[in-house]
Amino acid sequence: MSEEAQKLAPRAEAEPAERRYTFSPDLVTLTEGRPGEAEAVRTIRTHVIARHLNDGRRGLAICGPKPGVGCTFTAANLAVAMSQVGVSTLLIDGNLRSPGLRDFIRPEEPIDIRRQAALGASPTENVHSEVLPNLSILYADGMMDIGEELLGGGGFRRLIDRCLRDYEFTIIDTPPTSDSSDALRVASIIGYALVVARTNITRIKDVEHLARDLQEDGARVIGAVLNQA
């Protein structure tokens, strides 16, 4: 068995009717082995509910200045944590060029690229509903070729508008801002951002720049997470 296959242990009880998923041990809100990290995510959840959701805001982009700070880790775990308290949650992989969500929650069947390509036209067709109770996911695999067109055009905005109507909470994992301007575009469309930094690695200057860029592009930064991986 490959190292990756070993890392992704199957969990039969989380199985929807027609699709099966494997969950990474790094999905600490689901697995029981890392209670300290799970508790930290639940603390973030408490703040997001109190300071964001309860004010009627339904969308949040998770943004980081560099690769590896833990954006996808935070997005995936926060989405699961929200779903666990009964919030109908949609988790979107906004990293169209290099999707990473499937490393945390992997569908056993390959993601259907043709349906993904129809995203702008019919977004909800591509959503994996009820991956876990109250948790749906929109993967980005196969979007690379049309990513620029999608992000630049009105397709992504239409998609987000639809998601904000259909789900109580929509959370978007974004690519590092050091690699492209995609995250800034995604965050400005959804309107709100949570910034992730990694202890002992991320420089304060980079967080400041990111927060400023987000605000300039019209996304309000609701807080920052210091990830101590």
Instruction: Write out the residues near Mg ion by the rule CB under 5 A.
Output: 71-72, 100
Among 69, 127, 135, 172, binds ligand ADP (CB under 6 A): 69
CA terminus-to-terminus distance, the chain: 26
Does residue 73 bind ligand ADP (CB under 6 A)? yes
- Site stretch for ligand ADP (CB under 6 A), options 67-75, 105-113, 152-160, 180-188: 67-75
Contact pattern for ligand ADP over residues 83 through 102, marking x by CB under 6 A: -----------------x--
Total residue length of the chain = 229
Nearer to ligand ADP, 120 or 223 (CB): 223
Binding-site partner at residue 99 among ligand ADP, Mg ion, none, CB < 5 to 8 Å by type = none
Site for ligand ADP in 148-167 (CB under 6 A): none
Nearer to ligand ADP, 64 or 123 (CB): 64
Nearer to ligand ADP, 26 or 206 (CB): 26
How far is the C-alpha of 151 from the C-alpha of 126, rounded, in Å? 17
Alpha carbon distances (Å) from 190 to 20, 108, 184:
29, 30, 10
Nearer to ligand ADP, 68 or 191 (CB): 68
Does residue 35 bind ligand ADP (CB under 6 A)? no
What is the CA angle 125-128-129, rounded to 5? 100
The 3-state secondary structure of 104-162 reads CEEECCCCCHHHHHCCCCCHHHHCEEEEECCEEEECCCCCHHHHHHHHHCCHHHHHHHH
Q: Cα 5 from chain centroid? A: 22
Cβ atoms within 10 Å, residue 83: 24
Among 16, 68, 191, 223, binds ligand ADP (CB under 6 A): 68
Nearer to Mg ion, 54 or 104 (CB): 104
SS3 13: helix
Does residue 218 bind ligand ADP (CB under 6 A)? no
Give the binding site for ligand ADP (CB under 6 A). 26, 37, 64, 67-73, 100, 227, 229
